[in-house]
Amino acid sequence: MDNAQTSSKRDLQRPRLTIDEYEHGVVDGDRTVLGRAITLIESSSEAHQQLAQELLKRLMPRTGGAARIGITGPPGVGKSTFIESLGMHLVSMDKRVAVLAVDPSSGVTGGSILGDKTRMMELSVHANAFVRPSPSAGTLGGVAQKTRETLMVCEAAGFDVVLVETVGVGQSETAVAEMTDFFLVLMQAGGGDELQGIKRGVLELADMIAVNKADGSNLPAAKRAAAELQSAVRLTRGSAEAAIADVVLCSALSGEGVGELWGEIEIRLDSLRGNGAFDRKRRGQMLRWMWQLVDERLREITRDHDGLGALRNEVESDVHGGRMHPQQGAQRIVGAIVQGLSKE
């Protein structure tokens, strides 16, 4: 069992805090209570979930004030080193920084494998920083199911910037873009094939692409990669929208370009706030989140409701056996749910 999972179980085994103690501890920035509140939110226990939802309801008026930055990139690009470099730059500006690092999950324990605290040693112990690794638990795109709620709790705790790091595989790019204000994609120069591993969807989602490891003898290759990526952005989005995704150079190891990169992000966010696009984006994300939760709840009802058990088994058997088209099966199940609602 890994350290993150052991710590989470230990948190839930401690004497239970009251809802008032959770609320006041989070608002006061108590790191111990903040950690326990996140563990509560991540718990699958129904009793814990009821308490967590009440806590989120109380904290809701205090959320929304942080800059939410999503960061992704292929394995080996140096995401953790970059986040630590950016985080240390931010705390040097007297900003409070939270890092939600979504790790791949262990297939055996369900716990996070990489343990970002061990990869961000300097940042994780800084008084104005909070690093929280969370197992993805096999959820869509490697973004933990409760990442949005955790982000809101960090905002309520007074953090100025929340960095959300993903494993950079599957649909994680889309998932993190749906919960953040700015989406940064890290790339690096390779052996001339640096564009082959990047999906078109990433270029369409990115607000900025940063070519990392632009230092020393690797600098010329990094510059070539940046030029190729800028061309790819133009081809993907069209020349009218090419400026939407800046392509910049940086070195997380030396810190070169990291401060300038953050300055560009701040300029972009200020512009969005000034023209109202920032608030519109946030409201749209909340609405899409609500419907995502509706979809998840309907799937839970379909799976767990006793009254649908016989029908569910029958439909699954017919679809699996090739006797019924999946669309027909879906219509039968949805029809049963609607019929049940009409009787209530």
Q: What are 239-295's pLDDT values in tens digits?
A: 555 456 789 999 999 999 999 999 999 999 999 999 999 999 999 999 998 998 888
Q: Looking at the domain assignment, is residue 32 inside a domain?
A: no
Out of 275, 301, 323, a domain closes at 275
Residues 206 and 305 placed together within one structural domain of the fold: no
Token code pair at residue 231: 């061309």
Residues 165 and 270 placed together within one structural domain of the fold: yes
Of 243, 275, 307, which residue sits at a domain end? 275
Question: How many Cβ atoms from other residues are within 10 Å of residue 12's Cβ?
Answer: 14
Tell whether 249 is covered by a domain. Answer: yes
* Percent of the chain topping pLDDT 70: 79
Number of domains in the chain: 2
State whether 124 and 236 are in the same domain.
yes
301 and 271 in one domain?
Answer: no
What is the pLDDT, as a whole number, of residue 144? 56
Same-domain pairing of 307 and 257: no
pLDDT beyond 80 at 196: no
- Residue 170's pLDDT is what? 54
Coil, strand or helix at 96: coil
Q: Are residues 240 and 265 in the same domain?
A: yes
Same domain, 236 and 119: yes
Q: Does residue 5 surpass a pLDDT of 70?
A: no
Average pLDDT of the chain to the nearest whole number: 83
Q: Are residues 94 and 121 in the same domain?
A: yes
Structural domain span for residue 293 = 284-343
Question: Does residue 126 sit in the same domain as residue 177?
Answer: yes
Q: Calculate mean pLDDT across residues 94-112.
A: 67
Cα distance between residue 252 and residue 327, in whole Å: 50
- Mean pLDDT on 57-84: 92
The answer, yes or no, to whether residue 181 has pLDDT greater than 70, is yes
Q: What is the pLDDT of residue 108?
A: 38
Please tell me the predicted confidence (pLDDT) of residue 6: 54
Whether residues 236 and 296 share a domain: the answer is no
Q: pLDDT value at position 273?
A: 94
Write phi, then psi, for 226 (nearest 5 degrees): -65, -40
The reply to whether 126 and 178 lie within a common domain is yes
Give yes or no for residue 299 having a pLDDT over 60. Answer: yes
Query: Per-residue confidence at 117, pLDDT binned at 50, 70, 90?
Result: low
CA distance 30 to 73: 32
Indicate whether 31 pLDDT > 70: yes
